[in-house]
Structure 1
Amino acid sequence: MSALERLLKLREQNPGPLRILSASGQLGFGIPKKSFERGIKSKPHVIAADMGSVDPGPTYLATDKIAAPEVLVRSDMRLVLHGAQQLGVPLLIGSAGTAGADVHLDVVLKILKEIAVEDKLHFKLGIIRSVIPHDLVEHSLLNQKLKPIGPIDLDENTLKQTEVIVGQAGMGPFERALKLGADVIVAGRACDTAPFAVIPKMLGFPTGVAVHMAKILECTSLCCEPGGRDAMLATFDGDSFTVESMNEAMHATPTSVAAHALYEQSDPYFIHEPNGRACLKHAKYEAIDERRVKISGATWQAADKPWIKIEGARKLGSRAVMLAGNADINFIKQSKNIINKVEEVVREIIPFSEWSLNIRHYGIDGVTDWPEPPVNLPREIFLLCECIAENSEKAKLVLATFRQQLLHFGFPGRSATGGNLAFPITPPELDAGEAFTFSIYHLLELDDWSALEQLFPVTIEKIGDQT
């Protein structure tokens, strides 16, 4: 009997509240064990976790790397596998290996299977792949069925430079895997909400409320005060759900939970999925006590046509960085103008032209590109100078030339000719490896609903002895 069949049988016998445990806001970076064990004692019907994001940047999508340390992926995976096996409930994991392409998914699957062998576990494993064919994206580009999310322009040349494209799987592939008997599901790139919302939806709970629940739950206790990464429990009852952190020191409040519904959302009222959107215009947040909040009121609006979010990254070249500081107030006042003039000099000196330079003035505009400098300038600034060129040797050559010209550049009010910069380490030019950028961050409109099944294939494997 599969985990879903056991759940359905249990629901027939006791159709009460449904409990969903969010194990980790990003599986592979360490699960606080005491909170997770408290969550297991609450006897959840479903355990789910998200594992990926574009937040760590484009490098992971463009390479075979995963962001999480393997030792923590292994310990986290062992913890959630044993928890699900102990209770006999489904375990659903989305966006395996950070970027969720096949190469990242396979790294996670290898670890999972090794744990199963070592610990003598047995279950049916559902695998969802999320790589999108280039020819589909090319066809969609030519037929104007791609919509950019943000300032990313895509043309045929950029598409050719993008080796791997992934799409975010919605609830559909997870539902197919569960119906095929999967006890454990590991997906490539997926919507953050999908692993959490799919089973409530399948059991007949309101889809809009289920997606709203998933949005709150997927980052675990980040929706609490003071907030953290401890396991989070949602209890679904009728057309509402209650959230509670498994860390007793964390408090879910109406304000903290409502604020988290806006997390990573461009629109405060809608949570988009491939087959529709949850509308939060009439959502209600009510305190049950000082640690728990009851949420209700979200509705579901089905889409006329399916769409998916797709992501791709391409290589820019090689990156080198230079680290330097300055404590001369006259330099700080004029730093942008000085740096622009020095770059002009460097471009006259360097025999090749294919390079770019980016200077961050920490203390002035290192984090945010402020439109105006601060009223009171800092007494010192730190310069992070980045050069991207064809290879690391050229990138370091540009930075070395830039460094030497900037070091002795003359400007009004200069205090001394000995040097404008202070170097925390030498040599100040460091090889920072290959540089990548997101080249695709778009919505792809599909012609029909059957395309969703084709784009996110599901396979089932038997792990361990099933007899």
Structure 2
Amino acid sequence: MLYANADPFLLHEPGGHLDVRVARYNALDNRRVRVEGSRWVPGPCTVKLEGARAAGYQTTILAVLRDPHHGAHARAWVARLTACLRVSIKRRMGLSPDAYGLEVRLIGVDTALGAPENRAGAPGEVGVLGIVTASSQPQASEIGKLINPFVLHCARTDDEELPTFAFPCSPATTGRDAPYEFALNHVMRPVLVITLAPLIARLLRIR
């Protein structure tokens, strides 16, 4: 009910929908759950449509922060890094922020959840994963090359000396090609159904 479904209580499928608004979930043990009270509601004949589309083209870059000062202030560093990158990409490539995607995730800090992460800690090192999404692979790769020196040497403030971080591999950037995302998940009632077999048979007889 939670997977790829807009409503966690109503699941629309061909021929009706599953209603679990009054369902009861009881744990029988550590591996089994008994579900009672679900109701199948018959409906008109429908078809399920699902689809995916390319969500641009991506290049990633990976660096590692081992400096305790920058590791302790990693999120503030990312905010400054991102602001500097936006300005540089606009100046050197003429791209506004809405023409590409730029995301920086901190491995060991907030990789899974990003901004909503509420756990705090002091890891010995922090991985910096930059994800660039653009309209073409060459453009994504070019942005990756442009941000390379910033990820390696960006200081947290103007008053600090330029640091040097680590690239765990060379080249630091990797082209990922096109990632895909769900673009269609819909139950549709057919309006017109055309059977092609009789039409093809008739055309063959004519020839």
Common topology (TM > 0.5):
yes
The AA in structure 1 aligned to 2:153 is H
1:356 aligns with 2:101: yes
Aligned residue in 2 for 1:397: 142
Give per-residue Cα distances to partners, 1:101-125, cap 9 Å, x unaligned: xxxxxxxxxxxxxxxxxxxxxxxxx
- Rounded Cα–Cα distance in structure 2 between residues aligned with 1:291 and 1:320: 40
Note the 1:202-351 alignment, pairs <5 A: 264=3, 267=7, 269-280=9-20, 281-282=22-23, 297-303=37-43, 305-332=44-71, 333=73, 334-351=76-93
Aligned residue in 1 for 2:156: 411
Aligned residue in 2 for 1:423: 167
- Rounded Cα–Cα distance in structure 1 between residues aligned with 2:158 and 2:119: 20
**Structure 2: 5+ residue runs without aligned partners?**
197-207
Q: Is the 8 A contact 1:389 1:395 kept in 2?
A: yes
Aligned residue in 1 for 2:189: 446
Change (3 A) 1:445 1:412: same
- Report the Cα offset of residue 359 of structure 1: 1.5
- Rounded Cα–Cα distance in structure 2 between residues aligned with 1:308 and 1:336: 46
- Rounded Cα–Cα distance in structure 2 between residues aligned with 1:278 and 1:329: 53
Secondary structure of 2:93's aligned partner: coil
Secondary structure of 2:171's aligned partner: coil
Q: Is the 8 A contact 1:270 1:279 kept in 2?
A: yes
The AA in structure 2 aligned to 1:392 is Q
Q: How many residues align?
A: 189
Change (3 A) 1:393 1:263: closer
- Rounded Cα–Cα distance in structure 2 between residues aligned with 1:386 and 1:313: 20
Give per-residue Cα distances to partners, 1:242-278, cap 9 Å, x unaligned: xxxxxxxxxxxxxxxxxxxx55266554443222123
- Rounded Cα–Cα distance in structure 2 between residues aligned with 1:290 and 1:437: 34
The AA in structure 1 aligned to 2:69 is N
Secondary structure of 1:365's aligned partner: coil
Secondary structure of 1:331's aligned partner: helix
Secondary structure of 2:162's aligned partner: coil
The AA in structure 2 aligned to 1:443 is H
Secondary structure of 1:378's aligned partner: coil
- Rounded Cα–Cα distance in structure 1 between residues aligned with 2:30 and 2:120: 42
- Report the Cα offset of residue 374 of structure 1: 4.0
The AA in structure 1 aligned to 2:128 is L
Give per-residue Cα distances to partners, 1:256-315, cap 9 Å, x unaligned: xxxxxx55266554443222123343567696x999887655432122x44444233333
- Rounded Cα–Cα distance in structure 2 between residues aligned with 1:411 and 1:271: 49
Higher relative contact order (CA 8 A, sep 6+): 2
- Rounded Cα–Cα distance in structure 2 between residues aligned with 1:360 and 1:290: 34
- Report the Cα offset of residue 327 of structure 1: 2.2
Q: Is the 8 A contact 2:58 2:133 kept in 1?
A: yes
**Structure 1: 5+ residue runs without aligned partners?**
1-261, 458-467
The AA in structure 2 aligned to 1:274 is P
The structure where helix makes up a greater share of residues is: 1
- Report the Cα offset of residue 429 of structure 1: 0.8
Give per-residue Cα distances to partners, 1:318-372, cap 9 Å, x unaligned: 3211111112343241223222222123224432424332221222221113336
Aligned residue in 2 for 1:432: 176
Give per-residue Cα distances to partners, 1:191-241, cap 9 Å, x unaligned: xxxxxxxxxxxxxxxxxxxxxxxxxxxxxxxxxxxxxxxxxxxxxxxxxxx
- Rounded Cα–Cα distance in structure 2 between residues aligned with 1:403 and 1:290: 48
- Rounded Cα–Cα distance in structure 1 between residues aligned with 2:190 and 2:66: 60
Aligned residue in 1 for 2:202: none
Q: Is the 8 A contact 1:342 1:406 kept in 2?
A: no
1:370 aligns with 2:115: yes
Give per-residue Cα distances to partners, 1:141-193, cap 9 Å, x unaligned: xxxxxxxxxxxxxxxxxxxxxxxxxxxxxxxxxxxxxxxxxxxxxxxxxxxxx
- Rounded Cα–Cα distance in structure 1 between residues aligned with 2:32 and 2:153: 61
Give per-residue Cα distances to partners, 1:382-412, cap 9 Å, x unaligned: 1111222343333222112112123222333
- Rounded Cα–Cα distance in structure 1 between residues aligned with 2:195 and 2:64: 50
Q: Is the 8 A contact 2:57 2:179 kept in 1?
A: yes
Bigger CA drift: 405-414 or 425-434?
Answer: 405-414
Q: Is the 8 A contact 2:152 2:167 kept in 1?
A: no
Aligned-pair identity in percent equals: 21
Change (3 A) 1:442 1:329: same
Secondary structure of 2:141's aligned partner: helix
Normalised by the length of structure 2, the TM-score is: 0.69
Secondary structure of 1:350's aligned partner: helix
Tell me the C-alpha RMSD between the 2 structures. Answer: 3.8
- Rounded Cα–Cα distance in structure 1 between residues aligned with 2:87 and 2:121: 30
- Rounded Cα–Cα distance in structure 2 between residues aligned with 1:455 and 1:415: 71
The structure where strand makes up a greater share of residues is: 2
